[in-house]
């Protein structure tokens, strides 16, 4: 790969009108294409519902990924189930595509007894071991050094797997961006770094975030390829991730992908983007919606139509709404989980604390 060229050029396969560059088309099977589209549509519907729940005071916090669905779904689709994902907090599409149930994601946002983190993480900070999805953490950039460590360990064990991790454009200013890329490059670790350049780091625009012409070119200093990709083009995201994965498994080390996209919502439910996002800029990016673009492509292939689309959206809404109804009947996590869900084997000091708590509540000894 020629990093000097690829870090500036923009890889694009699928045009906004749904036409495709046949020379770059990864030629995916219909089943995979429809699975990717289903995940993208479902994420958009899930986002809308959960943000509404936050506005109603039924959950406490939420982060939407509107406009960035192609980034998470396209990259996840290029992996195998055995690969590891160390996400940031705007990749729900990766969780859905890798098989995480909607009801489990909703449970985490409620922090109820179904929540596998027992209410100890902020909403939208998912963690699912069965899908090789490491817990999301709020500190900016920490996931990059975690992914580098995972990949370094796999390389030493001879595992034919890769680690994929994400960061926003603002996160590239963190110390951990440097540490993660430097360690991975020196070790030739099989890791794919994805920078979702969505235009904003909360209210700080990209032009005030870096003096570099692109984020992809930052890879050159670390000795790895940097590839700039149309992040609203799910086929381009898939191809770039697949190529980076093949490179990693060949022992050639990490790759940095800059996915150029746009955040079509607030940074979080605590943010009001109307105070700083120019309306004309948002309108321009709405016309580049990754879901609408992919839909046109599927229709042109003859495997999708308006009736199927309406049915999919109705089905996804029903599934999301049922997950919400089910979760709202679930109680809070049991108090005992504060003690039993900390160590694999509960130490005696913690057991005594638990028994004192149970005694204060008039309950018997813990079995």
Helix axes of 306-327 and 102-110: crossing angle, nearest 10 degrees = 40
* Cβ atoms of 324 and 106 closer than 8 Å: yes
Of 49, 267, 293, 297, which is the active-site residue? Answer: 267
Q: Kindly give the residue spans of alpha helices, DSSP state H, lying in 270-344.
A: 279-286, 290-301, 306-327, 337-340
Residue 263 annotated to the active site: yes
Residue 129 annotated to the active site: no
Q: Kindly give the residue spans of alpha helices, DSSP state H, lying in the chain.
A: 3-6, 30-55, 69-77, 92-97, 102-110, 142-157, 175-187, 218-222, 234-249, 279-286, 290-301, 306-327, 337-340, 348-360
Of 44, 49, 242, 263, which is the active-site residue? Answer: 263
Half-sphere exposure of 358 (CA within 13 A, CB side): 16
**Distance separating alpha carbons of residues 267 and 113, to the nearest angstrom:** 28
The residue among 78, 61, 68 whose CA lies nearest residue 43 is 68
CA dihedral 254, 258, 259, 261 (to 10 degrees): 160
The residue among 180, 177, 162, 176 whose CA lies nearest residue 244 is 162
Of 276, 325, 332, 352, which is the active-site residue? Answer: 276
Residue 276 annotated to the active site: yes
Provide the annotated active-site residues. 263, 267, 276
């Amino acid at each position: 790969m020629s990093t000097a060229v690829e870090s500036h050029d923009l890889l694009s396969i699928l045009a906004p009108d749904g036409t495709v560059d046949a020379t770059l088309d990864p030629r995916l099977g219909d089943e995979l294409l429809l699975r990717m589209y289903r995940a993208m549509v479902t994420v958009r519907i899930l986002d809308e519902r959960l943000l509404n729940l936050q506005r109603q005071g039924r959950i406490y916090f939420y982060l939407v990924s509107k406009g960035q669905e192609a980034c998470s779904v396209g990259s996840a689709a290029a992996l195998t189930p055995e690969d590891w994902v160390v996400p940031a907090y705007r990749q729900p599409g990766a969780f859905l595509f890798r098989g995480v149930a909607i009801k489990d994601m909703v449970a985490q946002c409620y922090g109820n007894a179904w929540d596998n983190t027992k209410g100890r993480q902020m909403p939208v900070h998912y963690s699912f071991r069965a899908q090789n999805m490491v817990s999301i953490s709020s500190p900016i950039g920490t996931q990059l050094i975690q992914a580098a460590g995972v990949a370094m360990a796999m390389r030493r064990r001879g595992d034919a797997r890769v680690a994929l991790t994400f960061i926003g454009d603002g996160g590239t200013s963190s110390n951990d961006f440097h540490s993660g890329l430097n360690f991975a490059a020196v070790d030739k670790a099989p890791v794919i770094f994805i920078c979702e350049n969505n235009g904003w780091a909360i209210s700080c625009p990209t032009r005030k975030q870096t003096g570099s012409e692109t984020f992809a070119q930052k890879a050159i200093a670390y000795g790895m390829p940097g590839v700039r990709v149309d992040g609203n083009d799910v086929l381009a995201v898939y191809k770039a991730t697949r190529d980076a994965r093949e490179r990693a498994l060949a022992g050639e080390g990490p790759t940095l992908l800059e996915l150029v996209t746009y955040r079509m919502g607030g940074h979080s439910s605590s943010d009001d983007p109307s105070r700083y996002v120019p309306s004309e800029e948002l309108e321009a990016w709405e016309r580049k919606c990754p879901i609408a673009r992919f839909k046109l492509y599927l229709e042109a292939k003859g495997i999708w139509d308006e009736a199927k689309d309406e049915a999919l959206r109705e089905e996804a809404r029903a599934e999301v709404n049922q997950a919400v109804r089910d979760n709202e009947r679930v109680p809070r996590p049991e108090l005992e989980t504060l003690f039993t869900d900390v160590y694999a084997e509960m130490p005696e000091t913690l057991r005594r604390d638990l028994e004192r708590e149970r005694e204060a509540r008039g309950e018997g000894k813990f079995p």
